[in-house]
Every structure is written in structure tokens, then in C-alpha cells.
């Protein structure tokens, strides 16, 4: 496995020395608003939802999720920085920078696997606090000699003004500004310390076309889902309504007649309860079209299942489970990603797919053990050593994040195929073409 050996060597020898390892878990989180204004916002979100339901009837779970998370004025993502120990949940890039470093190696490895094109767009969907992109870009800096004269640019798809400002500070320091008009597709731009242009968009369709490596970590689980229940009369949609017995509260109801969304359910569906994320399907379709036409690759990491789970809709507040219908806007809402659905859409879009594989397997294939050993060898401070081991355990332990999170990749079809021998000038030429480089992180090579 040539690529994997290269990956291990890069991971061991080229990365930052231990002295620069930061432990983000310990960092403090800037607060976007004080608690009394947060309280007011929550009440207005509930008022907004109840008046909507009063005027048009029950709303789909997808509409509920969309309003609660991304309403342009009151949405949970729009006005909060919710990541980190003082927030509502913590993610792998926030736990250890090794995570982003290994994904950075993956990006470079896939760029090499595509024949080292002269242009490379790093595109991240839902970049949170910007930590993953920052760690990936640091690896690009360490591998400057490998990337050579490649023109690298950074493109971030983010709906949250609060988080995009956190990302801008993380990636560009002071060197960024809002675009002249709010309505421009690229609403914010800046330059990283290494001089790379960095742009922000609200939607993937606005990101310029071209060879790109797309990253999406804990992005698809935040997209709105529709929920359906199998009944004696067939599939029916589950919606959100006002509880008639408790007027200030919401409840789930099963709609008596089929809704348009019921057509999303597969004819051979066996489960009793199903969640479908059509918005996730549309984004996968867009990614597949881009990768098939412009080249590149996508790496999607999230918690999810292979079309087997039923009710996974959850709320998180202060690192605890939170009732999804109570205090809308106060907690994160999420649903496990159905990777078999995403894979089906991707394959229809003409790209090659790998995975999903567990985070544990992916990180181990990427050389996380070797990287940890190097850091431990160079570390003299016992508390840093302890933190290194703890965060490694959190990322890879099967009972923690190791088996709950999965990695799925979409690649240009040519990436996994041997090139056909070509006939030259009418002569039958048996030109030996080398096998394509294996794809780092994935052991499975299903063509
Ligand atoms: N990837 C980060 C953050 C995950 S939280 C990490 O792993 O740490 C989800 C991120 O997606 C946030 O940045 C949120 O603002 C963003 N987001 C949620 N819905 C979105 C949408 N529809 N379009 C663009 N960004 C979205």
C-alpha cells in the first residue's frame, strides 16, 4: 500500500513538533449573546413556530428543523457559537488537532492521486469554528514542497454569521472583510497568513467550479429530515403541531393522509419508522456532478447508519440529550446520517464511492498510531501526555467516537480505474499503465 506508507511517513516526520500542539478542549469560547437575550430569542422562536402552525397547520419535521437551526434571524446556528466544552457539543476537530492533520494528509494524497493538478480548491461545508480547515491548511504549509506552485484557495460554505466570523478570525486573523453587499454569493472574504484567498458562501452552488477537495464534518447530520411512520393504511408523515392540552408546547402528530414527502420512501422499505434527508441528497447530487465534471474528491464524516436505524432525531444542550420539541432554538437538533441513501444518490451521479468505514479504521489507516507515538516520545510534560492519550482514545475507542462516526468518500470515477492501454499510430501497443494509487484511509476498494 504505497500511499499509506507515504501517509505514515508524512504524518510522522513533517508535522508540527509537540510544542505547538494545542488542546482546544481547554480553550475558552467567545459568547455571542448573554443568557437573558438568549431566553428572549427562544421565546420568539416558539412564538414564531406556533403562529406558523396556527395559520397553516402542522409543519413537517424538516421545516421545524430548518426554522430552529437556520432561521436567518433566530436560528440556533445563526446566532450561536455552540461548539466546545462550554457549548452544547464537541466535535473531533475540536478534540485534537491530529484529526485535522490526518485529513490534511488525505487532501494532499487525493490531489496527488488525481495527478497533482495545478489548481486546488479546499471546500469545507459547515466549518464550525474553522479548526478543521486551519489544521488542514497547516499541513498544506508543511507540505509546501509537495504542493509546489499549485494555486490553492479556500472556500467555506456557512450559513451562520456568528460562526463565519469565528472562522474568519481563526483562518485569517484580521485580514478579512464582509463583501460590499450582503446579497453577493461570496459574502465574506479574506487572506490566510500563508497568503491563500479564503471566501465564504451560504450555499455550495455559489462555490466556483474547478478541481476541489470537499470536506464535510458533522454537516449532514444538521440538515433537515422528514419523518415517516408505517401505519395500517400505509406510510404517513410525522409532523409538529401545538399540543391542544398544553398550548405553549409542541407535540408530534401523524398526518392522516399521505403528504407529497411520502414519495421519498423506497418501495422496498422494511422499517416501521423512517427518516429521510432530501436536502442532504441534493447536496450529494451537486457534489457528485462537480466531482464527475471538474475532478476532485469529497470526504464526508458523520455519525450515521446504513439504512437500518429508525428514530434518531435528537437534541443536545450542554453536552446532554435535550427534548427536541422543548425550548426550540435552545439546543442543537440532529439526526443520524443515512449513508446508504447518500451512497445511492452519489452512485447515480456517476462518481465512485468508498465507505462508509468507521472513524477508528479510517484514522488508523491514516497513521494516527504512529503520529501519537511520535508525539508521546517527544513529550516530557505528563499532563500533556495524558491529554494526548485521552483525546486519541476519544477519537478511536469503539465505544466513544471510534465506531459511532463514519467516513464516506466520493471520487472521480477515473481515480479508481486502471487507464486502458491506448493504441498508438495504428500499432497494437501493450502499454503497461500503473495501478491507481490506493485511497488513503479506506481499506475497502469497491469498484
Ligand atoms: N464541521 C464543524 C462544525 C459542525 S456543526 C465541526 O465538526 O466542528 C454544523 C456546522 O454546519 C456549523 O458550522 C453550522 O453553522 C453549519 N450549517 C448548518 N446547517 C447549514 C446549512 N444548511 N448550510 C451551511 N452551513 C450549515
**8 Å CB contact between 312 and 222:** no
**8 Å CB contact between 123 and 155:** yes
133 close to ligand 1 (CB < 6 Angstrom): no
What cell numbers appear for 86 in the block?
A: 462550554
What cell numbers appear for 64 in the block?
A: 421545524
**Residue among 81, 222, 224 to mutate when testing ligand 1 (max atoms within 8 A of CB):** 222
pLDDT at 41 (0 to 100): 66
Q: pLDDT category, 7, cuts 50, 70, 90? A: very low
C-alpha 427/C-alpha 321 separation (Å) is: 68
pLDDT at 247 (0 to 100): 79
What cell numbers appear for 24 in the block?
A: 482546544
C-alpha 386/C-alpha 132 separation (Å) is: 22
Q: pLDDT category, 34, cuts 50, 70, 90? A: low
What cell numbers appear for 83 in the block?
A: 461548539
How many whole angstroms from its chain centre is CA 68?
Answer: 19
C-alpha 135/C-alpha 286 separation (Å) is: 26
**8 Å CB contact between 365 and 4:** yes
pLDDT digits (tens, 9 = 90+) for 333-356: 999 999 999 999 999 999 999 999
Which three-class secondary structure state does DSSP give residue 60?
Answer: strand
187 close to ligand 1 (CB < 6 Angstrom): no
Written in H, E and C, the secondary structure of 220-239 is HHHCCCEEEEEECCEEEEEE
What cell numbers appear for 444 in the block?
A: 475497502
Q: How far is CA 312 from CA 242, 304, 321, 333, in A?
A: 22, 9, 12, 10
pLDDT digits (tens, 9 = 90+) for 93-133: 999 999 999 999 999 999 999 999 999 999 999 999 999 99
95: which strand partners? none
* Distance in Å, CA 77 to ligand 1 centroid: 7
Phi-psi category of 122—alpha, beta or left, where left has phi over 0 and alpha has psi -120 to 50? beta
219 close to ligand 1 (CB < 6 Angstrom): yes
* Distance in Å, CA 416 to ligand 1 centroid: 30
pLDDT digits (tens, 9 = 90+) for 429-445: 445 566 777 899 996 44
**8 Å CB contact between 296 and 114:** yes
pLDDT digits (tens, 9 = 90+) for 380-428: 999 999 999 999 999 999 999 999 999 999 999 998 875 554 444 444 5
pLDDT digits (tens, 9 = 90+) for 122-157: 999 999 999 999 999 999 999 999 999 999 999 999
- The yes-or-no verdict on residue 57 having pLDDT over 60 is yes
Is the preceding peptide bond at 356 cis, omega within 30 degrees of 0? yes
Whose Cα sits closest to atom 10 in ligand 1? 126
Any idea which residue has 446579497 for its cell? 183
What cell numbers appear for 286 in the block?
A: 451537486
**8 Å CB contact between 192 and 154:** yes
Q: pLDDT category, 30, cuts 50, 70, 90? A: very low
* Distance in Å, CA 89 to ligand 1 centroid: 12
Q: pLDDT category, 249, cuts 50, 70, 90? A: very high
pLDDT digits (tens, 9 = 90+) for 253-276: 999 999 999 999 999 999 999 999
Looking only at the bridges linking them, the beta strands covering 296-305 and 212-217 are parallel
**8 Å CB contact between 195 and 177:** no
- Point out the ligand 1 atom lying closest to the alpha carbon of residue 66: 22
Amino acid at each position: 500500500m504505497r500511499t499509506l506508507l507515504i501517509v505514515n511517513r508524512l504524518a510522522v516526520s513533517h508535522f508540527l513538533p509537540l510544542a505547538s500542539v494545542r488542546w482546544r478542549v481547554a480553550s475558552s469560547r467567545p459568547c455571542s449573546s448573554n443568557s437573558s437575550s438568549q431566553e428572549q430569542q427562544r421565546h420568539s422562536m416558539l412564538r414564531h413556530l406556533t403562529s406558523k402552525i396556527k395559520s397553516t397547520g402542522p409543519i413537517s419535521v424538516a421545516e421545524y428543523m430548518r426554522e430552529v437551526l437556520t432561521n436567518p434571524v433566530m436560528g440556533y446556528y445563526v446566532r450561536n457559537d455552540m461548539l466546545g466544552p462550554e457549548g452544547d457539543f464537541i466535535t473531533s476537530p475540536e478534540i485534537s488537532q491530529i484529526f485535522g492533520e490526518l485529513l490534511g494528509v488525505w487532501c494532499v494524497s487525493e490531489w496527488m492521486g488525481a495527478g497533482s493538478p495545478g489548481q486546488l480548491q479546499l471546500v469545507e461545508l459547515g466549518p464550525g469554528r474553522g479548526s478543521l480547515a486551519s489544521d488542514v491548511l497547516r499541513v498544506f504549509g508543511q507540505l509546501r514542497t509537495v504542493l509546489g506552485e499549485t494555486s490553492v484557495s479556500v472556500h467555506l460554505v456557512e450559513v451562520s454569521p456568528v460562526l463565519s466570523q469565528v472562522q474568519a478570525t481563526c483562518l485569517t486573523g484580521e485580514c478579512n472583510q464582509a463583501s460590499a453587499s450582503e446579497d453577493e454569493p461570496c459574502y465574506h472574504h479574506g487572506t490566510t497568513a500563508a497568503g491563500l484567498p479564503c471566501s465564504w458562501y451560504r450555499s455550495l452552488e455559489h462555490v466556483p467550479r474547478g478541481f476541489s477537495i470537499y470536506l464535510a464534518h458533522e454537516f449532514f447530520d444538521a440538515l433537515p429530515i422528514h419523518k415517516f411512520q408505517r401505519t395500517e393504511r400505509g406510510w404517513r408523515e410525522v409532523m409538529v403541531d401545538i399540543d391542544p392540552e398544553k398550548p405553549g408546547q409542541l407535540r408530534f402528530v401523524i398526518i392522516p393522509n399521505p403528504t407529497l414527502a411520502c414519495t421519498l420512501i423506497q418501495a422496498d422499505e422494511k422499517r416501521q419508522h423512517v427518516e429521510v434527508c432530501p436536502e442532504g441528497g441534493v447536496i450529494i447530487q451537486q457534489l457528485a456532478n462537480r466531482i464527475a465534471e471538474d475532478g476532485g474528491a469529497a470526504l464526508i464524516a458523520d455519525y450515521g447508519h446504513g439504512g437500518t436505524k429508525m428514530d434518531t432525531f435528537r437534541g443536545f444542550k450542554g453536552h446532554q440529550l435535550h427534548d427536541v420539541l422543548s425550548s426550540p432554538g435552545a439546543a442543537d437538533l440532529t439526526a443520524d446520517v443515512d449513508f446508504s441513501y447518500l451512497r445511492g444518490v452519489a452512485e447515480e451521479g456517476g462518481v465512485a464511492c468508498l465507505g462508509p468505514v468507521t472513524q477508528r479504521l479510517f484514522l488508523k489507516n491514516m497513521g494516527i498510531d504512529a503520529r501519537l507515538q511520535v508525539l508521546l516520545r517527544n513529550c516530557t510534560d505528563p499532563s500533556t501526555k495524558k491529554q494526548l492519550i485521552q483525546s486519541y482514545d476519544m477519537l478511536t475507542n469503539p465505544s466513544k467516537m471510534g465506531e459511532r462516526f463514519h467516513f464516506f468518500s466520493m471520487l472521480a470515477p477515473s481515480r479508481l480505474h486502471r487507464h486502458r492501454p491506448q493504441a498508438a499510430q495504428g500499432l497494437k501497443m501493450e502499454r503497461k499503465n500503473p495501478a491507481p494509487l490506493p485511497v488513503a484511509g479506506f481499506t475497502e476498494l469497491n469498484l
